[in-house]
Amino acid sequence: MGRRNLFVWFVIMLAMLAGGIISGCAKKAEPPPSDQLRTLSFTIDCENYNKAVAEAVAQQLRELGVDVQVRVWGDWAVLKEALLNKEREMLVNDWGNSTLDPYDLLNPKFETGGRGNYAHYSNPRVDDLLKRGATGTDEAERERIYKEVQEILYDDAPWVFGYAMQEIEASRKTVQNWVPATDSRINLHRVSLTEGDTLVVGIRATIESLDPANHRNRIAETVIRNMFDGLVTRTPDGKVVPEIAESWEAISPTLWEFKIRKGITFHNGEPLTADDVKFTFDRIITEGGLGNGKSSPRKAGLLDPVTEVEKVDDYTVRFHLSAPWPIILQMLVHQQIVPKDYVERVGSEEFAKKPIGAGPFKFVEGKLDERVVMERYDGYYGGSPDIPGAGPARIKRAIFEVIPETSTRVAALQSGQAHIIQSVPPELVPELDKDPNCEVKTVEGTRVYFLEMNVTRPPFDDVRVRQAMNYAIDWDLIIEKVLGGYATRLNGPLLPHGFARHTGLSPYPFDPDRARQLLREAGYRTE
Amino acid sequence: MLMRVRTVARNLCGLLYLICRHPSALIGLVILVAYVVMALFAPVLAPYPPNTGSVRQSFLPPAWQEGGSPAHLLGTDHVGRDILSRIIYGARVSLWVGVLSVAISMVVGLVLGAISGYYRGIIDDVLSRFAELLMAFPFLLFAIGVMAILGPGFFNLIAALTFKSWVEFFRLVRGETISEKTKEYVEAARAQGQSNFRIVTGEILPNIIHSVVVLATLRVGYMIITEASLSFLGIGVQPGVPAWGSMVDDGRDYVRTAWWVSTMPGLALLLLVLAINLFGEGLRDILDPRLKVD
Amino acid sequence: MRGLRVLERILSTIPIVFGVAVIVFCVMRFTPGDPIDVMMGREGHVSQEQIDALRREFGLDKPIHVQLYMFLSRAVRGDLGNSLTKHRPVSALIRERLPATVELALGALVFSLVLAIPIGVISAVRQYSFVDRASMAAAFFGISMPAFWLGIISIIVFSVRLGILPSYGRLPYGLEPARVTGLYVLDSVLTGNVSSLVAALRHLLLPSVTLGAPMAAIVARVMRSSMLEVLRQDYVMLARAKGLTEWAVITRHALVNALIPTVTVVGVQTGVLLGGNMIVETIFSWPGIGRLAVDAIFNRDYPLVQGVVMVYALTFVLANLAVDILYTYINPKINL
């Protein structure tokens, strides 16, 4: 009986295979007649802050005859679980990319099993390219690699590529020489005032800590950065320039040497040497480095490949890496140097209460959820010579005031109680524009917004449907009507001003006819 | 059985007659009926389906304002949907939520209240303490918490609303049962050897049902407002389902530039709750004159 | 004897408060979604070891009954734990936000009583007059009005259109009076700071009216009906017959007695007032515990939710207790 049974099975398999091939060919040859077309129907997930965009997108898709529901999730943790289970279809999402390097955007979002890959995209070629991009050392080669990735992603379209929001900040007209930074930090070193010598910055949330090694938060970094300097820093438009380090050299892809500037002193007058630099990084990369068994939260994702920091002489250090790490310089911007002797003497907790750094301002007093006051440090070495205006700070006193309520922050600026404020919502911009004493300033932000499509299940396992989605949405209209115009259309996943962005690709045009055609080819009814 | 039906029908006709003679109850009833018709025939009455529109057509003002168009009588919202149509469809959500959640609360409250009031003893103690405990939570906070656990959605909403509101009915029914229990007609029924179940359903219930109906009517309005409040906070039904509360919330960011987006659905809500309260209080005057507020 | 009854009533609130604590604790633990996930934000960058460390730090790795025991034994000592999202003691957060909520609630209470009691009295004295009908119609609107809509409409009218009242916050930045009680209106009076007082009152006006409107409506209606009742009583007739002026009859004889039902209603409505403050605080960006509660629930901030709900429940229980006790003194016949 065995053999006959096997034969029957074989015939059935063969028939199915033939049927599959024939129907596959038929599909390619001509779209099925319209009475066999199905209605495309799916759900768009989002969190509350992306709801307006999700609804606008849904609206435009409905005009094509797609049956779209919007689901707002109250709680990211629950949504994330569903996403990881590959249960969802389309997600309105965003991702920060303050290093401006594709490394911490493309790798987590498109590598097979990447920690933010909610499209569940998996492409061996892309995986290979991304691995080479992450460890490559030749800039031009990396650029070429990432451009190829962008071309593949453009055609494969696992996302509906969206837009980058601009950072909207505002200042009094009396504030001189201040522009918002693309990574949204506010550095007051070179800022001056036409009236008075105390400058107040209204920041949007509580400061997590004043210890550079013990936070995971951009606002804390903004405040800390005014009291501490790093080996390198970033210009407002995102270029890495020397700061405490005078120069550097990659001896090999896994060994970097930094020369430290001489004559730098901490606020307590002690000189800054290679010992302090080594201590700073040891504190972060060593388990339990903060004392009392606590480890620094600034290692994972920020310093992973660093295995050892070696002191060569008093003004030279070497970074040993476990693997080539081309974006080491962009990453070092986010670590600031602390004084070894002082920290060892008082301990991490006391240090966070009375921080001492080598930055342009020294700490006076502060409560993390109210305000931090700092004063000019007259012994400052002057900061990075590559940014115009090196020298001591212009203003005498700087105050960072925590004002979480948006409208209160705007009112503080208008009444002159604050000189610079973070995060102005687009709908309040017209009000500030009317105010003769205030100025709204915008800069390209470092966060991209997009729709992620789950490529592992219908309908988005079909590349034609994914491309159709890209053609079907009129982003310019959404940017104008829903986002107040403060966003920039993207041609792919990367930021417009980021490294290795492909300039040869133009964003998917809004082309409803093309979208309809693709949907019909994929077997869906359109209007 | 037929006799029963006939009696009930006669009573209802009588009630209708009384309502017609009570002007504010009549006004309430008329508006209420209008809303019910609107909800039932929404697809026929609404000029557009609730979720169509184009972002290009967003923020059109109401027809009587400059720039408004007669195609969109009450204007359009931030993604270009017709506000009038969404209000008409929204009546379905509000009425369903109100009626369903009150009906469930009423049944639960009635059963538990009757048991508690009639048998007293340990059951009564436990239920009463539990009710007291629930009373200590502010209603909205409680509902928000339940919604946070269950997530948004229609039936979750009903659950969140009924979790606490049965207590009101429980307390009323329990109190009334306790006071009715000592009356002569109950004693008489007991003397005739009727079962406890018969006594409660056949004797006590018909005598307290009036006040329960009145409470139920008034609670519907309150439930509708609470549902709208939850939707307003973004945790009611899903977007796409046109709920008045979330429509008001949608318009909140645009009050400076497009006042009608928030105002119109709120007005619809106000009118409905007003009608329910008018009707409910009228009903109370008629059915339960001892509670009459003169 | 009465003292004993009062004491008994006070003691009876303890199991309720205890029960509330247990319920809140359990309910929060059934919630899907891991608070640690919420804390770490969406982009992660964190290792499993760090997550485990956080779990240990907040005691989330222990079995539920141990967590409950820990929570209760600390709560008794006034320690409500640390907020998961704000990294500060819950009791400190509540203490910081409570004055704003108290000020708003008092504002609403004062508004509704000042408006409603005279209206109720006048409506009763001049029954079926135009004033009576108009104010009862208004009161009817008051109880049917959704608070969130009233708030938005008043922002549109008074802040956006007319531009005469502020629409958010408690005070313009920098005008805070020296802190005595944390209630800005009271503090500016105590410190003689006139500009702060004016600003604080202006900020308080719209939120108070929005929050107090339903209460005002209910109090006016109750006041009117109990006044009508009292005016029919023999002793009022007698007072009139003695030749007292109508004013004296109303204020000295009728009003005091008519206030008794109002007291009950005010007590019950305090709970409703608290329930509404989340909405009103959201609309007017009022930095009180209502918004703290809503944020905490959405963020799965267990300790903060527990703390805030405890405050709500405690206030509610205390308000009812106060009414009951007040009652025994006003009307000694009442059995608690």
Does residue B186 lie within any of the structural domains? no
B54/A72 CB distance under 8 A? no
Residue A147 — pLDDT band, cuts 50, 70, 90? Answer: very high
pLDDT of residue A4: 47
What is the predicted ipTM?
A: 0.84
DSSP of A183-205: T-----TT-EESS-SEEEEEESS
E-strand stretches of A462-516: 487-489
Output C168 or B17, whichever has higher pLDDT: B17
Residue of C225, C274, C312 lying closest to B293 (CB–CB): C225
Output B218 or A29, whichever has higher pLDDT: B218
- What number is the average pLDDT over the span B29-57? 90
Does residue B27 lie within any of the structural domains? yes
Task: Give per-residue pLDDT as tens, A88-97.
Answer: 999 999 988 8
The answer to whether the beta carbons of residues A199 and A421 sit under 8 Å apart is: no
Task: Give per-residue pLDDT as tens, C180-218.
Answer: 888 888 888 888 888 889 989 999 999 999 999 999 999
Q: Both A62 and A158 in a single domain?
A: yes
pLDDT at residue A13 is higher than 50: no
Tokens 């999402």, residue located: A93
pLDDT of residue C47: 60
Give the whole-angstrom CA distance, residue C255 versus residue C252.
7
Give the whole-angstrom CA distance, residue A419 versus residue A127.
47
> C96-330 architecture in CATH?
Orthogonal Bundle (1.10)
Question: How many domains are there within chain B?
Answer: 1
pLDDT at residue B177 is higher than 50: yes
C31/B148 CB distance under 8 A? yes
Does any CB of chain C come closer than 8 Å to the CB of residue B139? yes
Q: Quick check: helix, strand or coil at residue A321?
A: strand
Q: Which of C173, C203, C304 has the highest number of chain A CBs within 10 A, making it the mutation to test binding with A?
A: C173
Does residue A440 lie within any of the structural domains? no
pLDDT of residue C156: 79
Residue C335 — pLDDT band, cuts 50, 70, 90? Answer: very low
Output B192 or B257, whichever has higher pLDDT: B192
A270-274, A412-416, B83-87, C328-332: least confidently modelled range: C328-332
- What number is the average pLDDT over the span B169-178? 92
Output B175 or C303, whichever has higher pLDDT: B175
pLDDT of residue C35: 63
- What number is the average pLDDT over the span A130-137? 84
Residue A233: phi and psi, rounded to 5, are: -140, 180
Give the whole-angstrom CA distance, residue B199 versus residue C301.
50
Does residue B240 lie within any of the structural domains? yes
Q: Both A257 and A192 in a single domain?
A: yes
pLDDT of residue A223: 93
C300/A206 CB distance under 8 A? no
Closest C-alpha among A223, A210, A272 to residue A401: A223
Give the whole-angstrom CA distance, residue A41 versus residue A63.
13
Does any CB of chain C come closer than 8 Å to the CB of residue A370? no
- Looking at chain A, the whole-number percentage of residues with pLDDT higher than 90 is 48
Does residue B192 lie within any of the structural domains? no
Q: Both A323 and A381 in a single domain?
A: yes
Residue of C16, C145, C282 lying closest to B136 (CB–CB): C16
pLDDT at residue B175 is higher than 60: yes
Chain C residues within 8 A of A78 when measuring between CB atoms: 32-33
Output B52 or A517, whichever has higher pLDDT: A517
Q: Both A60 and A128 in a single domain?
A: yes
Q: Both A112 and A57 in a single domain?
A: yes
Task: Give per-residue pLDDT as tens, B220-252.
Answer: 999 999 999 998 887 888 767 889 998 998 887
Residue A14 — pLDDT band, cuts 50, 70, 90? Answer: very low
Does any CB of chain B come closer than 8 Å to the CB of residue C235? no
Q: Which of B27, B94, B128, B133 has the highest number of chain C CBs within 10 A, making it the mutation to test binding with C?
A: B133
pLDDT at residue A304 is higher than 90: no
Residue of B144, B151, B256 lying closest to C160 (CB–CB): B256
pLDDT at residue B289 is higher than 70: no
Across chain A, mean pLDDT equals 86
Task: Give per-residue pLDDT as tens, A370-379.
Answer: 789 999 999 9
Q: Quick check: helix, strand or coil at residue A87?
A: coil
- Alpha-helical (H) ranges within A256-339 are 274-285, 328-332
pLDDT of residue C44: 47
pLDDT of residue C174: 62
Residue B57 — pLDDT band, cuts 50, 70, 90? Answer: confident
A59/B55 CB distance under 8 A? yes
Residue A22 — pLDDT band, cuts 50, 70, 90? Answer: very low
pLDDT of residue B264: 94
E-strand stretches of C248-321: none
Domain containing B258 — which CATH number?
1.10.3720
pLDDT of residue A405: 67
Q: Both A158 and A255 in a single domain?
A: no
Q: Both A345 and A489 in a single domain?
A: no
* Side chain identity, residue A302: L
Q: Which of B48, B51, B146 has the highest number of chain A CBs within 10 A, making it the mutation to test binding with A?
A: B51
- What number is the average pLDDT over the span B252-271? 87
Residue C248 — pLDDT band, cuts 50, 70, 90? Answer: confident
- Does an H or E element contain A177, and which? none
Give the whole-angstrom CA distance, residue A508 versus residue A495.
16
pLDDT of residue B216: 92
Chain A residues within 8 A of B261 when measuring between CB atoms: none
- What number is the average pLDDT over the span C228-235? 85
pLDDT of residue C213: 92
pLDDT of residue C32: 61
Residue of A369, A407, A417 lying closest to C285 (CB–CB): A407
Chain A residues within 8 A of C84 when measuring between CB atoms: none
- How far, in Å, are A413, B145, B160, C16 from residue B142 at the CA level? 38, 5, 8, 16
Q: Both A157 and A295 in a single domain?
A: no
Tokens 């359109």, residue located: A526
Domain that holds residue B92: 2-170+209-287
Does any CB of chain C come closer than 8 Å to the CB of residue B136? yes
pLDDT at residue B181 is higher than 50: yes
Does any CB of chain C come closer than 8 Å to the CB of residue A75? yes
Give the whole-angstrom CA distance, residue C94 versus residue C78.
12
pLDDT of residue B291: 52
Q: C160: left (phi > 0), else alpha (psi -120 to 50), else beta?
A: alpha
pLDDT of residue A267: 95
pLDDT at residue A345 is higher than 90: yes
Q: Both A218 and A131 in a single domain?
A: no
Question: How many domains are there within chain A?
Answer: 2
pLDDT at residue B107 is higher than 90: yes
Residue of A76, A80, A412 lying closest to C173 (CB–CB): A412
Residue A10 — pLDDT band, cuts 50, 70, 90? Answer: very low
B140/C16 CB distance under 8 A? no
Does residue A422 lie within any of the structural domains? no
Q: 10 Å Cβ neighbour count for B290? A: 6
Domain containing A199 — which CATH number?
3.40.190.10
Output A501 or C162, whichever has higher pLDDT: A501
Task: Give per-residue pLDDT as tens, A205-231.
Answer: 878 889 999 887 788 999 999 999 999
Does any CB of chain A come closer than 8 Å to the CB of residue C52? no
Residue C178: phi and psi, rounded to 5, are: -55, 140
Neighbours of chain A (3+ CB pairs under 8 A): B, C
Task: Give per-residue pLDDT as tens, C273-314.
Answer: 877 788 898 888 788 888 888 878 877 777 888 888 888 888
Give the whole-angstrom CA distance, residue C158 versus residue C164.
6
- Looking at chain C, the whole-number percentage of residues with pLDDT higher than 90 is 16
Domain that holds residue A69: 30-165+446-521
Does residue B146 lie within any of the structural domains? yes
Task: Give per-residue pLDDT as tens, C308-319.
Answer: 888 888 888 888
Closest C-alpha among A466, A483, A471 to residue A509: A471
Does residue B180 lie within any of the structural domains? no
pLDDT of residue C186: 87
A7-11, B86-90, C106-110: least confidently modelled range: A7-11
Task: Give per-residue pLDDT as tens, A150-183.
Answer: 999 999 999 999 999 888 999 999 999 888 877 7
Q: Both A236 and A370 in a single domain?
A: yes
- What number is the average pLDDT over the span C54-69? 75
Cβ neighbours of residue B155 under 8 Å, at least 6 residues apart? Answer: none
pLDDT of residue A52: 86
Q: Both A377 and A455 in a single domain?
A: no
pLDDT of residue B272: 95
pLDDT of residue C49: 66
Asked which of A374, A402, A430 is the last residue of a domain, the reply is A402
The answer to whether the beta carbons of residues A501 and A488 sit under 8 Å apart is: no
* Domain positions in chain C: 19-75, 96-330
Output B219 or C88, whichever has higher pLDDT: B219
pLDDT of residue C201: 92
The answer to whether the beta carbons of residues C144 and B227 sit under 8 Å apart is: no
Residue A435: phi and psi, rounded to 5, are: -80, 120
